[in-house]
Amino acid sequence: MPKTAKISSATVRADFNDPIAVVHYARAAHFLGLWKSEMLLIDRFFPDRSASLLEAGCGAGRVTVGLWDMGFRKITAFDFAEELVDQARTLVADRGADGIQIFHADATQLSKSEIGRGVPASSVGSRAAKTSRPALARKREKRTKTSAQSRFDGVLFMFNGLMQIPGRANRRAALKELARLARRGAPILFTTHDRNSTPLEQALWLSEARRWSEGRQDPQLVEFGDRYFSDESGRTFMHLPDREEILGDLKACGWKHEFDSLRRDLTKESRAVQDFSDECRFWVGRKE
């Protein structure tokens, strides 16, 4: 019997590019917008509307355009699912948010992307960039590599995007890449689910721990805490950490923990938000 393949970044990318997922996230981008809890924490930790922000895992642009509506004008966003990037670019154009730059990029490999090289969106794929002489290209590469370092005043990775990267080493790689591009003292805001958020979750994970100890877990899963399930948004991979795991990841990747809270302890969300997303934990770190 052939060995079952582990979930990989290619698996997750294919799931996000699936038409069912694209429609689900595009609908949220157009009609749901920012949650009350998201706006509350953005106001608290990103008070300067002139700050340059980097949004990882922007999806179809729900948070991206929400940031624009809040008054931010220096926004760079990216996602690794091509279909969602197209949706985000369409939404940005429809809303007249011309200052937003949106890229196709992988959070674990930003140094290989236009963002990591500091290339302006207007030059990506331009004729001039394709036909420049080698000497000029080398000069530009040296200049943009320098400008790419520590150039963002804040980072966001919303709606559990970080937790949809399979493998703890890969999630840490993403946190390190984002830290590399953030100025010292810059905040990072992201969310996770939480294995200990309710007594029911705790009981379910105790049962799951027994399956792992006995080797009966889903063979597709990479590590304890992983889930792979189907719902109205299609097939979804999600890693559910505990608090100590995230504290360890922040410390190992150049971020100092500053704040965390379950969403329910921040504010009461609308029924539409609760239907869109289960309980989650918000995290804020600072670039050391």
What's the rounded Cα separation, in Å, for the pair 229 and 266? 28
Q: Which domain holds residue 202?
A: 9-287
Q: What integer is the mean pLDDT of 156-171?
A: 98
Residue position matching structure tokens 């940005």: 92
* Residues contacting 193, CB < 8 A, separation 6+: 160, 163, 238, 240, 241, 278, 279, 280, 281
131 found inside a domain: yes
Per-residue pLDDT of 59-107, as tens digits, reads 999 999 999 999 999 999 999 999 999 999 999 999 999 899 999 999 9
Q: What pLDDT score was predicted for residue 131?
A: 30
Q: What integer best gives the mean pLDDT of the chain?
A: 90
- Choice among 70-74, 232-236, 252-256, 269-273 with the minimum mean pLDDT: 232-236
* 198 secondary structure, DSSP code: S
Q: What integer is the mean pLDDT of 153-168?
A: 98
Per-residue pLDDT of 177-217, as tens digits, reads 999 999 999 999 999 999 988 899 999 999 999 999 999 99
Q: What pLDDT score was predicted for residue 115?
A: 92
Tell me the residue type at 229.
F
What's the rounded Cα separation, in Å, for the pair 283 and 162? 11
* Residues contacting 180, CB < 8 A, separation 6+: 110, 111, 149, 150, 254
Tell me the residue type at 92.
V
CATH code for the domain in which residue 43 is found: 3.40.50.150
Closest-CA residue to 190 (of 99, 237, 255, 276):
255
233 found inside a domain: yes
3 found inside a domain: no
* 110 secondary structure, DSSP code: G
Long-range contacts of 143-147 (CB under 8 A, 24+ apart): 143/118, 144/117, 144/118, 144/119, 145/117, 145/118, 146/118, 147/118
Q: Kindly indicate the confidence band of residue 150, based on its pLDDT and cuts at 50, 70 and 90.
A: low
Per-residue pLDDT of 119-144, as tens digits, reads 544 333 322 233 334 443 444 444 44
Element (H, E) at 86: helix 82-94
Six-digit token pair at 93?
């154009």
124 found inside a domain: yes
Q: What integer is the mean pLDDT of 3-11?
A: 92
pLDDT of 251 above 80: yes
* Residues contacting 119, CB < 8 A, separation 6+: 129, 144
The count of domains in the chain is 1
pLDDT of 25 above 70: yes
Per-residue pLDDT of 268-280, as tens digits, reads 999 999 999 999 9
Q: What pLDDT score was predicted for residue 242?
A: 94
Q: What integer is the mean pLDDT of 172-177?
A: 98
What's the rounded Cα separation, in Å, for the pair 56 and 190? 9
89 found inside a domain: yes
173 found inside a domain: yes
Closest-CA residue to 38 (of 261, 207, 288):
261
261 found inside a domain: yes
pLDDT of 147 above 80: no
2 found inside a domain: no
Element (H, E) at 243: helix 243-252
* 96 secondary structure, DSSP code: T
